[in-house]
Structure 1
Amino acid sequence: MRPSGSRVELYAAIRRDARAGKSARAIQREYRVSWTTVHKALGSAWPSERKHYPERGSKIDDYREVIDGWLRADLTAPHKQRHTAKRIFDRLREEHRAEVSYSRVRAYVSVRRGEILAESGRAPVEVFVPQSHRPGDEAEVDFGDVVIELRGQPVTCTLFSLRLSFSGRAVHRVFLSAGQEAFLEGHVHAVEVLGGVPFGRIRYDNLKSAVSAVLGLSRHRVENDRWVAFRSHYGIEAFYCQPGVQGAHEKGGVEGQIGWFRRNHFVPVPQVESIAELNAMIDKWDADDLDRRIGSRVRTVGELFTVEAPLLLPLPEAAFETGRWFNLRVDRHSQITVRTNRYSVPVRFAGRQIRVQLHASHLEVYCDRQLVATHERLPGKAETRLELDHYLEILLRKPGALPGSTALEQARAAGRFTPVHDAWWAAARKTHGDAAGTRDLIGVLLAHRHLPHELVVIGLARALAAGALTADAVVLEARKAAEDSTSEQSDEDHEADAEAVASMTARRLTTLPTDSRPLPSVAAYDVLLRTPRKDTASL
């Protein structure tokens, strides 16, 4: 029977049956599709674009609020005196003269009643039953919040965790956002570290990255198409927990794991310069945690994972592209807007159409398939990140715009525009004037593109001490500093080699007897010197 929902779900079902060994002809009969559809589904988890038609309205749309009001009133009504679908249908016909069909009313009530019950937070009393897990069968996924100090500023980040239920091995990853990009990138990192995918199912709550709509209190969900394609690509079977706190116990393993990991590795608060640096630390923590024992278990996490690893499903040959593409136009401020945040690009692309690939913690800007800019993703909303280097060409023609520019302010805050830059700039403006001195500074900033930042700062300090207030002088001093560091390194290597190799000459001199002969003299040759001629000028 053909599954309900989007074509992505159909493709996922076809690919799942094909992996199970079902023939193409059997799949055609079961889902009532053509051979072409089966062939396309096996070739790609993402179906080709199909023309979308606007959704047709329904007569029941005008009475949704009325029906919802009756269903909410049922929450406090006696159990045996609540509305049935038939009673709601009759009241609509009698009190509102509504020309709606009973099937439409019944379908709407069957879904909406459960949603209203879930919104009210009501749930029956449940009994918890202890569970056992087979090796390689199940895993759990969840997000948690952690606070870090990123370049000296407190930032709330998202901690992704995928935990294998049998061994308890967990893989973690920190992202600046909790969007779908982080959700997918976390999965890719986790399955690559583990070396495979559980052959059973992975438990999830109702994250917006995966679920578009929760259909009442049942397990049925309307999944996001991109998530369905991702699951189909890696062969992941999803199991969704009940909405709200009622379903928290259904993935208690990963929720407890996130709390344990946060208490043991994020106390005190980590101080890092980048998210990549933090994730490198997390990879080491995950590897170290393989030696711990969970609760009263006899064997460690690593020993249990050794049993579980061979049973995981192999990974596909090609990785799934987790980044999301956007086609944007650069405005007259040489900026683009991505998810309410603004980022700068080089001024030569102002007014042009560019492509942006958005990842969980960074974004890349392309023009004509060439990477032209990279930014760390902003964690908040309506924020701006500008690179001073992107505006240098226009500042050469408008030097007066540099002192009050936002890009300069952000460069100072990030430590890329140092007090040495400011001191040299002030001296250059005093000597050459504001415009000429600022242009000389911009020439120094352009040197950052081909010289390391530390060497340029050294060049600025040396040029300022010598009173050399031109960009050429700064570049010359920076190159001298590079040569000095290279020569010092070579001298240190030479001294180390000399200490490592024994000198045979020094060794022989220590065994020779003392020489008692007198020092040589040339006094006997003084008789050969000519007698100085008399000065005839005095005669």
Structure 2
Amino acid sequence: MTGFLPENPGVIKVNQVAEIRRLHFVEKATVSELAKQFELSRPTIRKHLKTLDDPVYPLRKLQPHPKLGAFRDQLKSWLETDARLPVKRRRTAQRLFECLQAEGYAGGYCAVRRYVKAWKQAQSSSPPVTQAFVPLYFPPGETCQFDWSHETVVLDGVEQVVKVAQFRLTYSRQMFVIAYPRETQEMVLDAHNQAFDFFGGVPKRMVYDNLKTVVDAIFSGKDRQFNRRFLTLANHCLFEPIACTPESGWEKGQVEKQVCDIRSWLFTLTPKFDDFAGMNAWHTQRCRELTARAHPEQTSRTIADCFAEEQPLLMPVKAVFDGYVEQMRRVSSQCLIRIERNRYSVPAQWANQAVSVRTTANRIRMVADGQIIADHPRHFGRDQLICDPWHYLPVLEKKPGRCVMERHL
């Protein structure tokens, strides 16, 4: 039997079966000649001489993964560890594959994916739920989707949960993410300013959940009462706000998927930063780096290529929106205003009077008679005193013991 390859059911093709039968029955080629020509065993040739239908090969239920063998225990240990974590902090199969590569794994991703899928199915007794959706088409420059996510990071050595504003242009899939300590309205306004600056323009429509900082009231159908301050932002930037139907996340499915992807790409394992500025600078850099990935629909192009096409079609940003939230507060007799459990100083002449407080993502400004009378960096701790000694000069001129304060000036 020398000169013959071992039988391999995956080698034979439908057109080869037809050719074998034609050469034998029409050209009178012998079984040995056909075996040499097609590099198959003679029993295989005889079998296909009797074949009239398409060949059917049984599928293996268990795929051998020899390269994964030495890493199965490690992969199983990671899956068991992740199973005890909240769902949003568990690693995806892709992330586990990258971690295995760091350990020296030289195999393919499919082996890891099959193992992870089989392990999860073995842990779950209920069958997976499948849903069907209608594909959507988005012209370039038209639509951007927005959502919040909660992620775990280590800031200045302390593990904490941060709120991440996520934007996604639906045509190019260009993303932008920025983290804040809270989800308040001034954070929403600032996030839009940062996103439009990153994109270099404004899309015609913005799609949201019915979050309270954007929507004040939900009526029937798509009718909404949008927040007045948020509408000021929309009127300034000229985009149309669109609110999804409640509990219908598929209406902004791209950013919903991005939340899961970003969690895997940027927040597992738990990243460490010195402060929010360093974290957001790194996020911006990663958003640019991820544009080198292939576009999910236009697979021959990258996200960067599609964004280069979409960016000129965005509406230009003519002026940055002053994203503050305003409220009236009374100044105490100690020339202080309490804001979110912190106290900020105000010039002494405004003691016991009402002034306007304008809160932005990173500043606290006090306004009276149309003028800014105090401007402080915003603090997010509790029971802190943010004081400008110059605000107390008129008091020091009249009150005894002023020399004690003057030493601090």
TM-score bin, normalised by smaller chain:
0.5 to 0.7
CA displacement at 1:359 relative to structure 2 = 0.9
Query: What residue number does 1:30 align with?
Result: none
* Residue 306 (structure 1) aligned to one of 308, 311, 332: 308
Give runs of aligned pairs for residues 60-459 of structure 1, distance below 5 A.
127-199=132-204, 201-216=205-220, 218-244=221-247, 247-295=248-296, 297-315=299-317, 317-338=318-339, 340-345=340-345, 348=348, 350-366=351-367, 369-370=371-372, 372-378=374-380, 383-387=382-386, 390=389, 443=407, 445-446=408-409
CA distance in 1 between counterparts of 2:292 and 2:160 reads 31
Unmatched runs of 5 consecutive residues or more in structure 2: 1-129
Contact 2:202 2:316 in 1 (8 A): yes
CA 1:311–1:157 in structure 2 vs 1: closer, same or farther (change >3 Å)? same
Moved more, 358-367 or 172-181: 358-367
CA displacement at 1:271 relative to structure 2 = 3.7
Amino acid at match of 1:312: L
CA displacement at 1:250 relative to structure 2 = 1.3
Amino acid at match of 2:386: E
CA 1:156–1:350 in structure 2 vs 1: closer, same or farther (change >3 Å)? farther
SS in 2 for 1:250: helix
Contact 1:210 1:227 in 2 (8 A): yes
CA 1:197–1:229 in structure 2 vs 1: closer, same or farther (change >3 Å)? same
Query: What residue number does 1:466 align with?
Result: none
1:148-183 Cα shifts (integer Å, max 9, x gaps): 333333333221111011111011222222122122
CA displacement at 1:243 relative to structure 2 = 0.4
Contact 1:147 1:156 in 2 (8 A): yes
CA distance in 2 between counterparts of 1:150 and 1:377 reads 15
CA distance in 1 between counterparts of 2:219 and 2:162 reads 30
CA distance in 1 between counterparts of 2:387 and 2:211 reads 38
CA distance in 1 between counterparts of 2:219 and 2:347 reads 49
Amino acid at match of 1:164: L
Of the two structures, which has the highest relative contact order with CA contacts closer than 8 Å and spacing of 6 or more? 2
Amino acid at match of 1:154: E
CA distance in 2 between counterparts of 1:373 and 1:196 reads 30
CA distance in 2 between counterparts of 1:302 and 1:288 reads 9
Between the two proteins, what is the percent identity of the paired residues?
25
Contact 2:346 2:366 in 1 (8 A): no
CA 1:278–1:365 in structure 2 vs 1: closer, same or farther (change >3 Å)? farther
CA displacement at 1:323 relative to structure 2 = 0.5
CA distance in 1 between counterparts of 2:294 and 2:232 reads 36
Give runs of aligned pairs for residues 515-530 of structure 1, distance below 5 A.
none
Amino acid at match of 1:358: T
Contact 1:360 1:377 in 2 (8 A): no
CA displacement at 1:397 relative to structure 2 = 6.5
Contact 1:205 1:241 in 2 (8 A): yes
> TM-score, with normalisation over the residues of structure 1?
0.45
Contact 2:172 2:295 in 1 (8 A): no
> TM-score, with normalisation over the residues of structure 2?
0.58
1:380-416 Cα shifts (integer Å, max 9, x gaps): xxx42213665998999679xxxxxxxxxxxxxxxxx
CA distance in 1 between counterparts of 2:183 and 2:144 reads 20
CA displacement at 1:286 relative to structure 2 = 1.8
What is the Cα-based RMSD across aligned positions, in Å? Answer: 3.2
Amino acid at match of 1:221: R
Query: What residue number does 1:519 align with?
Result: none
CA displacement at 1:294 relative to structure 2 = 4.6
1:258-299 Cα shifts (integer Å, max 9, x gaps): 222232223344444432332222222222222222547232
CA 1:272–1:397 in structure 2 vs 1: closer, same or farther (change >3 Å)? farther
1:485-512 Cα shifts (integer Å, max 9, x gaps): xxxxxxxxxxxxxxxxxxxxxxxxxxxx
Contact 2:229 2:325 in 1 (8 A): no
CA displacement at 1:374 relative to structure 2 = 1.1
SS in 2 for 1:384: coil
Contact 1:140 1:254 in 2 (8 A): yes
CA distance in 2 between counterparts of 1:397 and 1:279 reads 48
Bigger-Rg structure (1/2):
1
SS in 2 for 1:277: helix
Contact 1:343 1:375 in 2 (8 A): no
SS in 2 for 1:212: strand
CA distance in 2 between counterparts of 1:289 and 1:344 reads 41
Contact 1:335 1:342 in 2 (8 A): no
CA 1:387–1:179 in structure 2 vs 1: closer, same or farther (change >3 Å)? closer
Contact 2:343 2:384 in 1 (8 A): yes
CA distance in 1 between counterparts of 2:154 and 2:351 reads 34
CA displacement at 1:361 relative to structure 2 = 3.7
CA 1:385–1:148 in structure 2 vs 1: closer, same or farther (change >3 Å)? farther
